[in-house]
Amino acid sequence: MIPYVLASALFGIGVYGVVVRRNTVLMLAAVELMLAAVNLFFVTADVAPLHDRQTGHSGQAFVLFIIVVAAAEIGVGLALVLRLYRRRGSIDSDGIDQPSRRRSVPDAVVDDREMV
């Protein structure tokens, strides 16, 4: 019973972190905390004794799948955060839905050096 309560508490802390935080890196950390809570729940449910039937260790298979998804999620998420920082100069998530200020860059940059 204690692992289920711990998994629920971790998931709740993760949800709180996603809802309250403005920093996108901390939001990704909160999502990872939620995935860890789900992993704990699946492993606990897998090793829990069942009265009527045998289990095929499906909880462990789900955990491996979640680990792969979490690795892909953190890679894509950090790439998006890096792109957000390069465009806006900040990683706060307040203005993500608003169009960014684009810097005007000329099509051809003229150099002071002579062309050889």
The answer to whether position 95 is within a domain reads: no
Answer yes or no: is 8 within a domain: yes
Question: Which CATH number goes with the domain that contains 8?
Answer: 1.10.287.3510
pLDDT over 70 (residue 114)? no
pLDDT of 88 above 60: yes
Cα dist. 64→60, 69, 83, 85 in Å?
A: 6, 9, 29, 32
Q: Would the pLDDT of 58 be above 90? A: no
- What's the confidence (pLDDT) of residue 13? 94
Confidence of residue 55 (pLDDT cuts 50, 70, 90): low
Whether 79 is covered by a domain: the verdict is: yes
Structural domain of 80: 2-49+57-88
3 state DSSP class of 92? strand
Residue 91 binned pLDDT confidence (cut-offs 50, 70, 90): confident
Tell me, yes or no, whether 107 lies in a domain: no
pLDDT at 86 > cutoff 90: no
Say if residue 8's pLDDT is above 60. yes
* Residue matched to tokens 């099509």: 107
Is the residue at 111 inside a domain? no
| Whether this model's pTM surpasses 0.85 | no
Give the pLDDT mean for 97-113: 54
Q: How many domains does the chain fold into?
A: 1
